[in-house]
Each structure stands twice: as C-alpha cells, then as structure tokens.
C-alpha cells in the first residue's frame, strides 16, 4: 500500500443575501466609502439578518452544497469539523448541530477555535487524521457570523467584518504529488492585548456591567495587528516557498486571508506574485474570519486545474498564523 495523503475533492459555500454597503455604514458611524476603501479595500459585506439563525445555519448550507456538488454518500463521511469563533452556543459544538441537520449517521463532529487562522489549522489537522489511515472522508468548514460580535457604533472595526461559510471535502488518496504537501503553522501568545473580546468568557462572564459597557464585541488595535499580519503572513509564505522550491514561475495561486487589501498586496509583493494570481474577494465580503480562505477557493474553483500549486496563508487573534502548500487535485 502506498503512502496516504489528503486531497480536496470539492468546495461548497454560502453567503447571506443581505448586502451591507459602505454607503449604509456611513449613515451608522462617521465614515465613508473612500476612507474604508483606502484603508482596507472593502466595498460591501454580507450579513445574516434573519432572527434566530447563527453560524451553524451558514455552515450547514455550505456543507449541503458541497455534498450535492461532489455526490459523496453522506453515510461515508467519517468526521465533520467546523472552525469558528462565533459558535451558536458555548456548547454544544456548532459542528454537532450541523451534523444533526445534515443527518450524517457515521461521523463524529467537533469545533476548532483559532480565529482567522482556523481553517488553515483545521485543514492541517484533518490532513493528519487522513494520513493516519483511520479516516477516509472529512468535511472541513470555516464559518463565522462576525456581525454578531461587531460593534456598529465603532467606526474603526465595523467596516471590516462580514458573515459567510465554506466547506471542503477532504479525502484519502494514494496518488503521489497531489493534495496537502506542506504546512508551517505558528502561534505567538503575545497577541492577547491587541485583538480580543473583553467579556463573555470565563475570565469575565456576562453581566449587566459587561453588556452596558459594550464589552461583547471585537476589540482591535488595528495598527499593531496590521504590522504583525504583514510580517508573519509574508514570512510564513516565504518559508513554505523556500522549503518546497516554489517561486513566481511555478506557483499558480496565493490564497490569503481576506482581512485587509494592503496586507494581501504586501504578501503578494514578498512572493513576487502578480495580483492576478492572488485570490481576492475582500471587496465584496470583507473579513469573514475562518471562512475567508475556503470562500476564496469556492469562488475561484472554476479557474483551478489539477496540479495547480497553491499557497494558503492566514493570520488571526492569538496571534495565530501560518501558511500551507497545496496541490489542487481536480
């Protein structure tokens, strides 16, 4: 028996219908389209507005589309993993809700929590599970309802975030030189002061005080986060490229986390990649956290061909960061 590796065999995605434009945001806070576009490159973002619907709804929609597109038998799915920072509930896991709604009979499900780097970390984890030989088919979902943790009175953060979900099917293969080839993942534990939610966890449980003082929203020191993101994503990509002999001539695509257009451009410049070989959809979706990378794959799927070399890279709260080398399988 040959060496087992993991390949992506399909992508499904979902974004809500409601479009929150910069023009509408400028009526809520002191901002405007030019300011937002110049600093972050976001024109609009999708928002899940329906009452009583959370991250699991979008994750389920993405996974359902994935199952339909690939034609995979749901009973053959071994595991379903949802990466999210905006779980429906503290418990049970969002993944368990998705699994229940999809009716997967032979799978187990759990959530991972690594902020905007969650999809990357989870894809690496699921790859290891498949390489172990114990699992053959795993659904990996990145999904976040960032509108639920965004303060629409804070002009510095409210233009940044949107809602969305995307799912990939990861399968075992013995074919050589295809699938997840390499990854470089790191965590810098010094990131807490610069990007976090101040209340709602076990350190500072919800109370009248925390609600009154608007402590249940994303807090970010933008300049510091920007600097760390540019440095780490660029360095991580450079390490992966050097380790695997990748350069602008043999690299097909860069798939960066969609947090800020200037970060994306800095990463592309470091790799000497032209922007037409960089997957970008930030202008229409904003930062959907764990969903940004799979949503980019979903949107660009038609442009991908078997054997294409991709570098995926992300950065998030923690700080968590990393890059992955992937060879497209279909």
So which residues are the catalytic ones? Answer: 116, 257, 287
What sign has the CA pseudo-torsion 81, 82, 85, 86? negative
Given a contact cutoff of 8 angstroms between Cβ atoms, the answer to whether 10 and 66 are in contact is yes
**Buried (b) or exposed (e) across 279-311, using 16+ Cβ within 10 A?**
bbbbebbbbbbbbbbbbbbbbbbeebeeeebbb
Return left, alpha or beta for 53; rule: phi > 0 is left, psi -120 to 50 is alpha, else beta. Answer: beta
Of 167, 160, 161, 159, nearest to 147 (Cα)? 161
Measured CA to CA, the distance from residue 272 to residue 252 in angstroms comes to 12
Q: List the structure tokens of 15.
A: 């974004």
CA distances from 314 to 137, 228, 257 (A): 24, 11, 5
Provide the 10 A C-beta neighbour count for residue 136.
17
Give the contacts of 245 (CB within 8 A, at least 6 positions apart). Answer: none
Residue 303: asked if its preceding bond is cis (omega within 30°), the reply is: no
Using a 10 angstrom Cβ sphere, with 0-12 exposed, 13-18 middle and 19 or more buried, the burial of residue 250 is exposed
Residue 113 structure tokens: 């929590």
* C-alpha closest to that of 86 among 51, 60, 120, 111: 111
């Amino acid at each position: 028996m040959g060496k087992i590796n993991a390949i992506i065999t399909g992508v499904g995605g979902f974004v809500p219908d409601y479009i929150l434009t910069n023009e509408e945001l400028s009526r809520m806070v002191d901002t405007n389209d030019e300011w937002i576009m110049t600093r972050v490159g976001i024109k609009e973002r999708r928002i899940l507005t329906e009452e009583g619907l959370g991250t699991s709804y979008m994750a389920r929609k993405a996974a359902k589309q994935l199952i339909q597109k690939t034609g995979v038998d749901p009973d053959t799915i071994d595991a379903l993993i949802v990466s999210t920072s905006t779980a429906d509930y503290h418990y049970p896991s969002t993944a368990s809700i998705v699994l229940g709604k999809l009716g997967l009979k032979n799978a187990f499900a759990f959530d991972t929590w690594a902020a905007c780097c969650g999809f990357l970390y989870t894809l690496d984890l699921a790859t290891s599970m498949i390489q172990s030989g114990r699992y053959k088919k795993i659904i990996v979902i990145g999904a976040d309802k960032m509108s639920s943790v965004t303060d629409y009175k804070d002009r510095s953060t409210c233009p940044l975030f949107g809602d969305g979900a995307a799912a990939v099917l990861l399968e075992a293969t013995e074919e050589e030189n295809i699938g997840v080839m390499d990854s470089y993942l790191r965590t810098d534990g010094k990131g807490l002061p610069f990007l976090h939610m101040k209340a709602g966890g076990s350190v500072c449980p919800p109370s009248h005080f925390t609600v009154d003082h608007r402590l249940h929203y994303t807090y970010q020191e933008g300049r510091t986060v920007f600097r760390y993101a540019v440095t780490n994503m660029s360095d991580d990509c450079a390490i992966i490229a050097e380790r695997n002999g990748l350069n602008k001539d043999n690299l097909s695509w860069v798939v960066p986390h969609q947090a800020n257009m200037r970060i994306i451009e800095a990463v592309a410049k470091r790799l000497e990649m032209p922007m037409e070989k960089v997957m970008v959809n930030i202008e229409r979706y904003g930062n959907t956290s764990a969903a940004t990378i799979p949503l980019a794959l979903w949107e660009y799927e038609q442009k991908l061909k078997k054997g294409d070399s991709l570098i995926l890279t992300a950065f998030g709260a923690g700080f968590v960061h990393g890059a992955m080398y992937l060879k497209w399988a279909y």
